Amino acid sequence: MTDIIMPTSNVGAAPATIGFAHRWLVVTTCLSSSLALALSGTITNVAVPDIMGTFGVGQDQAQWMATAFFAAMTAGMLLSDWLTRTFGARHVFVAMMLLFFVASVAGGTAQTYLVVVLGRAAQGLAAGIILPLTMMAMFAVFPPNRRAMVAGLFGISFVLGPGLGPWFGGIAIDIFDWRFTFYVALPVAFCSMMLATIVLPARDRDGVRTHLDWFGFLLVATFLTATLTGLSNGQLKGWNSNFVMSSLGLGLGSAIIFVIWELIVDDPIFDVRLLTRPRFAIANLISFLFGATLFGSFYLQPVFVQLVQNYTPLRAGLVLVPGGLIMGLVLPLAGRTSDLVPPYLPLAIGFLMFTVSLWLMGYADPNTAFITFAAIVGLGRIGQGMLFPPVTAVGLQAAPAAQMGTANGMLNFTRQMGGAFGINLLAIFIERRTAVYSEILASTQTEANSATGGLLDSVREMLAAANLPETIEGPLATLYLGRIVAAQATALAFQDTFFVFAIVGLLAVALSLALWTPFRRGR
């Protein structure tokens, strides 16, 4: 099982022959690449409204840009360790970075939305394979007593990337257009690839060879693809349509077969037996909800301020920057704190702060001030920054010492999968609530509605003052009314989504507190 936080057993102490310069060249290569790849995960979020307009898709389809990235990244993490051991860190890094380049160019030059989504999926696959590799490469050049520092550096880059992605994306869109969001990370990625050809090791011919559970991997890929596809097309094709029901059925069947297969295979890609431990099962549920809330919020917030508050992409990115920087500062402090207190405490407090932030966002409207929304986002980011260390710690405490690497990989897998499903379900909920509110509001726009009549009369008077022909005054006034109704429906749909998202946060708080009794008993 791939592990992106803890070193696996094959990583020993740093050889005495590794010099200072070489060691920090490895760190520079790995951190720059991880920052570029993590940034790519959220950089297109500020481009959602523009891409929706370009290709004529709704929220239920637009979310695929983020969902495809994180779903493919989840699958890529399962391949990383086997590829690295089989082909060597250098060759895998260069090959996957080349894939990232090709995918970025394909997405940026795409003429159909399908190509955009496929480009994002390929980017995510490359990121999922490279990120664990870079973590292990840094561990390999440092002695064990300095690996906590390395993990902290990696964690900060992994957090800052998604936090700053929307800002860089906004700059690219304001100067050029949405297509350049696919190109922003390429200069840094290219430099890291060139360094990798020099500083990363080739394949260790004497190293331990591992077996990959290919059938289990294919089942995971089928489950993710089929389930997310079925959910995304429910609003478009109908939830009772043959396509949607077949996709969801295939996803469910793949999940059931996967669980059975992992119970009987000798070298499972996901050791489901560990989930029989109650605390570890709860830790994975918390990790799933953490991923859903973290990456779901990264997607939801920039789209909200653009569609509801009419922010430019750059302004939408700027409103998220303070929160991203705050989370980067909180993370190392949370790491120190989690060693001193029971893990359930920072988990409950962190999720509670994020829940309060979401609840406050539910009251945001087109008139909410920039600084107010930025402060609400910052409150949530403080809570999310508190969650990274204890989510891992509580899971590892519940796992056998001999399986800590496997347990950590499972926690990372469930977190990334939570991100994919969180974005998917949030976008679908927004689309459905928008349709409901549009129908409700449209039904009230009748001649008997004095407010509607007054608005139409006012618009006609303004059009008449502009010396427009009387024949088009009525249609234009009606068009204006339709846009107002659509904008109001969208705002109400987002408010409902924030409130429902807050309920998910409360569920995570309850799960965190459920760990209190076992901890008190010393388990």
For residue 81, tell me if it sits in a domain: yes
394 touches 279 (CB < 8 A)? yes
First vs last Cα of the chain: how many Å apart?
Answer: 25
Tokens matching residue 484: 């107002």
- Average pLDDT, consecutive stretches of 10 residues, N- to C-terminus, the chain (523 residues): 42 55 85 89 90 87 90 88 86 95 95 94 93 82 67 73 87 92 93 91 69 88 92 83 92 94 87 89 92 91 91 91 86 74 88 96 92 94 86 81 77 89 91 88 74 71 72 71 82 94 94 71 42
Three-state helix/strand/coil letters over 452-518: HHHHHHHHHHHHHHCCCCHHHHHHHHHHHHHHHHHHHHHHHHHHHHHHHHHHHHHHHHHHHHCCHHH
Beta-carbon contacts of 174 under 8 Å, excluding residues fewer than 6 positions away, are: 312, 313, 314
Handedness of CA 289, 293, 294, 299 (dihedral sign): positive
Angle between helices 321-338 and 388-397 (to 10 degrees): 30
For residue 52, tell me if it sits in a domain: yes
The residue range of the domain holding 103 is 1-207
3-state SS class at 4 = coil
Q: Count CB neighbours of 510 within 10 A.
A: 11
Short-list 30, 72, 43, CA closest to 183: 43
82 touches 31 (CB < 8 A)? no
Beta-carbon contacts of 157 under 8 Å, excluding residues fewer than 6 positions away, are: 31, 34, 35, 38
For residue 247, tell me if it sits in a domain: no
Number of H helices, E strands in the chain: 20, 0
For residue 509, tell me if it sits in a domain: no
160 touches 328 (CB < 8 A)? yes
Beta-carbon contacts of 189 under 8 Å, excluding residues fewer than 6 positions away, are: 33, 36, 37, 97, 100, 101
What pLDDT was estimated at residue 11?
A: 42
For residue 277, tell me if it sits in a domain: no
Residue recorded with tokens 């939570």: 418
Q: Residue 383: what residue type?
A: G
58 touches 429 (CB < 8 A)? no
Q: List, for residues 458-511, the tens digit of each pLDDT value.
A: 767 777 777 767 677 667 777 777 778 888 899 999 999 999 999 999 999 999
Distance CA(296)–CA(314), nearest Å, equals: 20
Eight-state DSSP code of residue 309: S
Tokens matching residue 399: 């796992």
For residue 127, tell me if it sits in a domain: yes
Distance CA(216)–CA(502), nearest Å, equals: 34
Distance CA(1)–CA(81), nearest Å, equals: 7
Distance CA(171)–CA(317), nearest Å, equals: 8
Q: Would the pTM count as exceeding 0.85?
A: no
What pLDDT was estimated at residue 209?
A: 64
For residue 149, tell me if it sits in a domain: yes
What pLDDT was estimated at residue 516?
A: 79
Give the total number of structural domains in the chain. Answer: 1
Print burial letters for 198-227: b (CB count within 10 Å at least 16), e (below 16).
ebbeeeeeeeeeeebbeebbebbbbbbbbb
Q: Count CB neighbours of 505 within 10 A.
A: 25
Tokens matching residue 37: 């790849």
Q: To the nearest 5 percent, what fractions of the chain are helix, strand and coil?
A: 80, 0, 20
For residue 229, tell me if it sits in a domain: no
Rounded to 10 degrees, what is the CA torsion of 156, 161, 167, 170? Answer: 180
Q: Count CB neighbours of 228 within 10 A.
A: 23
Q: Count CB neighbours of 175 within 10 A.
A: 9
370 touches 319 (CB < 8 A)? yes
Plot region of 238 (φ>0 → left; ψ -120 to 50 → alpha; else → beta): left
Residue recorded with tokens 């890094």: 93
Residue recorded with tokens 């990583």: 11
CATH number of the domain within which 191 lies: 1.20.1250.20
